[in-house]
Structure 1
Amino acid sequence: MRDVNPKEWLALGEDLAPKLKDFDIINPHNFPSYIWAYYVKLRLGERSSAIIWYCHEPLRILYREITDPKGFRFYSKYNNPELKTIDMKAVSQIDHIVCNSRFTANNVEKIFNRAASVCHPGINMVETQDCDRKNFRMVTRIYREKNVERIINAMVLIRETRPDIYENCSFEIVGEGADEGRLKTLVKDIGISNIKFCGFIPDKELPAFYAGAKAIVYIPLDEPFGLVPLEAMFHKTPVIASNQGGIPEKVINGVTGILIDPVVIEVLTDAMQRIYDNPQLANELGTAGRTRVLERFTVDSFINKLEKKFFSLSGVK
């Protein structure tokens, strides 16, 4: 956030205005693109295209009292009244807001006092062969709000209470991030031998990683949506997921996955034991998960729904 420069945004809006004046719809996504669109609208006035913001989430650090009321996300203190004023003003002038989840839409409505509709994203589907599902796995950026440390704590408990699982299953973590070094040190200090940090792997290798998991564990704190559960479900892999944020909008507890309180270690270990002890349950969850993705969360279905919503909101035909 050190590079915030509203004067540059204004200049960019001036530059973009003549390039965008003949479009029917302007569709910004992440910060600060919707602020650029706002400056385009100021420049063009009544000649401006309809601006429809696809909001993945409001800028968290400006609205922590709404986006992180329990202090889960570990952000450092940040106060920029000028940026917050600009952000509020820009959103007030956007014509329509579409969000990636009802959770995000609720936050938008609380922060900006604006109605927001919902269009869930979809995923690209890449088939792969079934693999031996031996280990529990996680795909994530390794930051504190992704809650990876709970996995380490869970494996400590499993070592004590279910040594058979501890000895027969590893926990493999794909991803990188600022918290990686601290967590690797923690794993070493407490002597957990079956957690493996796999680092970054290319997208082309992810399908096999998903398909070879006994379950994918995905327990971030107040995640607005998150594609990882959908990608796992497509490969018939059961999901153990957080019951917070937008995740319950795609994972149906007991049907396509197991939803848990992400801060309670015991419910995580219980869910892992259920998957380990009951292969039939794991298969049923995985099969139902794939069906749900194919029915509701493909890229094609997302594009079709979003296009219809754009036309409906803007009046463009």
Structure 2
Amino acid sequence: MKVTLLTKEYPPHIYGGAGVHVKNLAAQLAALMEVEVRCIGEQESRRHHLSVKGYQPWERVWEEKFTSVLGTFSANLAMVGKRVDADVIHAHTWYASLAGFMAKMLYNVPFVATVHSIEPLRPWKEEQLGRSYHLTNWAEKIALENADRIIAVSHNSRAEILQHFDVQPERIAVIHNGIDISTWKPSAARATRRKWAIPRDYILFVGRTSRQKGMKHLIQAMERIDPGVTLVCCTSAPDTPEVEQEIAALVARQPRVLWINELLREEQYVEIYSHAQLFVCPSIYEPFGITNLEAMACEKPVVASAVGGIPEVVVPGETGYLVPPADPRALAEAINTVLRDRRKAKQMGRAGRKRVEERFTWQAIAWKTMDLYRSLLPGTRAAEPLFFPHRGESPLASRGYANPPLSEP
């Protein structure tokens, strides 16, 4: 069996949860079948059963706000210009959805779309994209309503898809996001904390500089959080310069905020998660929220908004607390509850790690995804033998994919 994954993000160009998802899913699936990744960028590599090819978008167009969407569409056209010989096409996010739809039409290949968020629920994107935001809605609608199967990353996301698109319920499967538990685990490293002069007592936010992530509500909550605690915000990829400037103004007025406004390496994030008192996810919209898994894998309690797929990850009173979105007072109360009972916080952190190990490994997610692919194939192809590792063994380690290179010389 062969699958072609279509995506905007792929290493080394990852800035959000969808990119993390595709990176890990591709590596795991490559231990089970042939995997081709077509992405936006200049990447080109091949190792064993995993090949990667980047496609460049157009140069900037006359209207700056249209560049992102029209450039994305141009890269989608390039992705399908080369013949597709896979058994299944699998597109991720609206950024690659149009390529998935076109590949289905051109090459008569089953088309799977994974929904990491839906455009109708992100109206603030019009601030970033101008009227081209309406084209992202159009592209997503065309793709989802013509996909053979849709993967939702949470049950809540599935309900949103059914509400906003003309899709039969039986075409939507729920397969949660995952975490690489061999990488994301408590770390004793100190270098990153020394570099940024991160104090001993801190709470942590990690995410894009976007209205969606609710960072401003967390900064406002610092007025009510117990003294002696610093908020460390690790952000990147601002939606617009205006959003970044708004956050900068809030940070300037709050002396207990340390803002690391650049993309870090994975091992640096692991270190910063590992030594925080707790992790905070104040999103106002979050179909899943991989950062919560990252924190839990590093044995940290989580305080998060009760939105989207987050309640399917964070168990209130067991692995953290859930609060209403856009409510700085509720955020502060929950954060203080964790800070004032460090013993309970450690118990929550250990429970979070256990939950991640039991429910959210990429190995299990890859197998579920493979089963969905096979359900779309004719009987003879679906019956093809596939590699299965021994019980408890990672297919990555078995096939030498534990640390796949980002590029080949």
The TM-score with structure 2 as length reference comes to 0.65
Match of 1:172 in 2: 232
Counterparts of 1:84 and 1:233, CA distance in 2: 33
| Letter paired with 2:175 | C
Alignment partner for residue 15 of structure 1, among 76, 81, 106?
A: 81
Alignment partner for residue 119 of structure 1, among 175, 178, 196?
A: 175
Deviation at 1:279, TM superposition (A): 1.2
Counterparts of 1:253 and 1:265, CA distance in 2: 18
Counterparts of 1:234 and 1:14, CA distance in 2: 37
| Letter paired with 1:311 | R
Match of 1:213 in 2: 276
Deviation at 1:83, TM superposition (A): 6.3
Counterparts of 1:301 and 1:265, CA distance in 2: 36
Match of 1:57 in 2: 117
Q: Verify: 1:145 aligned to 2:145, yes or no.
A: no
The TM-score with structure 1 as length reference comes to 0.83
Counterparts of 1:220 and 1:253, CA distance in 2: 17
Deviation at 1:151, TM superposition (A): 1.7
Deviation at 1:257, TM superposition (A): 1.3
User: Which structure 2 residues correspond to residues 170-249 of structure 1 after superposition, within 5 A?
Assistant: 170-176=230-236, 177=238, 178=240, 179-188=243-252, 190=253, 192-200=254-262, 201-249=264-312
Count matched residues. Answer: 293
Alignment partner for residue 35 of structure 1, among 73, 81, 98?
A: 98
Superposed CA offset, 1:58-94 (max 9, x none): 3x1xx2xxx25xx7x4743637777655543333322
Counterparts of 1:216 and 1:83, CA distance in 2: 32
Higher fraction of helix: 1
Higher fraction of strand: 2
| Letter paired with 2:180 | N
Deviation at 1:270, TM superposition (A): 0.9
Counterparts of 1:87 and 1:119, CA distance in 2: 19
| Letter paired with 1:173 | C
Match of 1:162 in 2: none
Question: Identity, % of aligned pairs?
Answer: 24
Counterparts of 1:287 and 1:39, CA distance in 2: 46
Superposed CA offset, 1:80-136 (max 9, x none): 777655543333322111111122222221222213111001112323435896211
Counterparts of 2:296 and 2:285, CA distance in 1: 20
Alignment partner for residue 2 of structure 1, among 66, 88, 92?
A: 66
Deviation at 1:34, TM superposition (A): 2.4
Q: Specify the SS of the correspondent of 2:91.
A: coil
Superposed CA offset, 1:254-309 (max 9, x none): 11111111222221111111111111210111111000000111221211221122
Q: Specify the SS of the correspondent of 1:41.
A: helix
Match of 2:347 in 1: 284
Assess if the C-alpha contact under 8 Å between 2:201 and 2:277 holds in 1. yes
Assess if the C-alpha contact under 8 Å between 1:74 and 1:144 holds in 2. no
Counterparts of 1:82 and 1:250, CA distance in 2: 32
Deviation at 1:310, TM superposition (A): 2.1
Counterparts of 1:244 and 1:181, CA distance in 2: 26
Task: Give the gaps of 5 or more residues in structure 2.
Answer: 1-64, 190-198, 384-409
Counterparts of 2:74 and 2:244, CA distance in 1: 34
Counterparts of 2:188 and 2:325, CA distance in 1: 29
Q: Verify: 1:88 aligned to 2:141, yes or no.
A: yes
Please give the root-mean-square deviation of Cα atoms over the aligned residues, in Å.
2.6
Deviation at 1:24, TM superposition (A): 1.4
Distance 1:85 1:199, change over 3 A: closer
Distance 1:54 1:134, change over 3 A: same
Task: Give the gaps of 5 or more residues in structure 1.
Answer: 159-164
